[in-house]
Homo-oligomer: A and B are copies of this chain.
Amino acid sequence: MPLKPNIYAIIMAGGMGTRFWPLSRRRRPKQVLAINGPNSMLQDTVSRLDGLIPLERTYVVSNAQQMRIIAPQLPEMDEANFILEPVPRNTAACIGLAAIHVRRIDPGGIMVVLPADHLIKNITTFQNIVRTGINVVEKHDALVTIGIPPTRPETAYGYIQFEEPGDDLPDGVYRVKTFAEKPTTETARLFLDSGDFFWNSGIFIWRASKILAELDDCLPELYAQLQKIEEALEKDEYPGVLSNYYKRIRPISIDYGVMEITNSPIYMLTGDFGWSDVGSWDELFRISVKGQDDSVHIGETVAIDAQHNYIYSPGKLTAVLGMDNILVVNTPSATLICPLDRAQDVKEIVEKLQKEKRTRYL
């Protein structure tokens, strides 16, 4: 059953995603890639809302540069539903910009904020949890987030510490104690062992008016800039005003800028729906179904004496002989080869190419 008409999906699709180089590039960020099935992560993020939030109340926030790739991926989406950032300014600004749009359309509107580049396996569970979150927002006018039960001491994610549930909350809903930054391996292990830390999924549910009040409270400079932009909404001068104020925004994440410092209550839902941020090639390998030789082969491959490899090679042949635990990404213009456990360091290659001004490969 679709939700009430005051629910809006806000899909954040402005990420750059250098960690999937050479498949991801400046003009082909991770969210537009089909790295885990026939559709892009952005397309999956939109279709995951099917039956929950209709397309006309789904908004995609991205920057002008990336719009040329993003818009064609969503041909049924109205142009008005793309919210353009003139430049990327991190998630606090992105969410604030979306919030002023929602508040203008619907002063009581509730935003479901979703990263465009995460994987969620169980869509029914996901939709049910979002419904629960909306109920919590309606009842408490609170900040709501979704935490992911951790399965390993991951250092690439932020963590959410939660309290024992009170009687007033539905099953799987907890009050948040603290938001914690990406930890060291040692701290991550402590978090995991304690049992009261979940991974921060970056999915949020709240009223537009509520998050704007939080921004006013926690990041007053940003809020003032957003107010200037809000005053220009639907006016001819909007693009100029937006560009002028947005550029000057100090980039900060919503976690750092609001979630970690607010005194307002935050509620966390248990996101046990098969989540992954698919943050790197090795994470993609981890969540992929393995085939022969405990490997993943995409495209044309031939392998002899080769175990536990991820070979991405659409459109051309990749032959591996006597290699184990490696990642090969073979695209038409560039090929990456590294051990799977070095996949997170692919950004070093990107940085080196940047430094050497070999921009055609970026």
A residues adjacent to B (C-beta < 8 A): 22, 300, 302, 304-305, 313, 316-323, 326, 328, 330, 332-339, 342, 345-346, 348-349, 352-353, 356, 358, 361
Contacts and interface: CB of A to CB of B under 8 A. Distances in A.
Contact of A321 (B321, B332, B345): B345
A352 to B, nearest CB: 6
Given A302-B358, A348-B304, A352-B302, A321 B334 contact: no
B358 A319 contact: no
Contact of A317 (B305, B318, B335): B335
Contacts of A335: 313, 316-319, 328, 330, 335
Contacts of A326: 323, 337
Nearest to A316: B333
A349 B321 CA distance: 8
A320 B334 contact: no
Nearest to A329: B319
Contact of A22 (B313, B319, B320, B352): B319
Contact of A304 (B302, B322, B328, B349): B349
27 contacts: A22-B319, A302-B353, A302-B358, A304-B345, A316-B333, A316-B334, A317-B333, A317-B334, A317-B358, A317-B361, A318-B334, A318-B335, A319-B334, A319-B335, A319-B338, A319-B349, A320-B338, A321-B337, A321-B339, A321-B342, A321-B348, A322-B342, A323-B326, A323-B337, A323-B339, A326-B337, A330-B335
A320 B302 contact: no
A304 B336 CA distance: 11
Contacts of A313: 335
With most chain B CB atoms within 10 A of its CB, the pick from A300, A319, A346 is A319
Contacts of A316: 332-335
State the main secondary structure of chain A at its contact with B. Answer: strand
A322 B302 contact: no
Given A316-B333, A335-B330, A352-B304, A346 B321 contact: yes
Nearest to A339: B322
A95 B342 CA distance: 53
A320 B342 CA distance: 11
B333 A318 contact: no
A134 B358 CA distance: 55
Contacts of A338: 319-323
A235 B319 CA distance: 48
Contacts of A318: 334-335, 337
A348 to B, nearest CB: 5
Given A319-B22, A322-B342, A337 B328 contact: yes
Contacts of A342: 305, 321-322
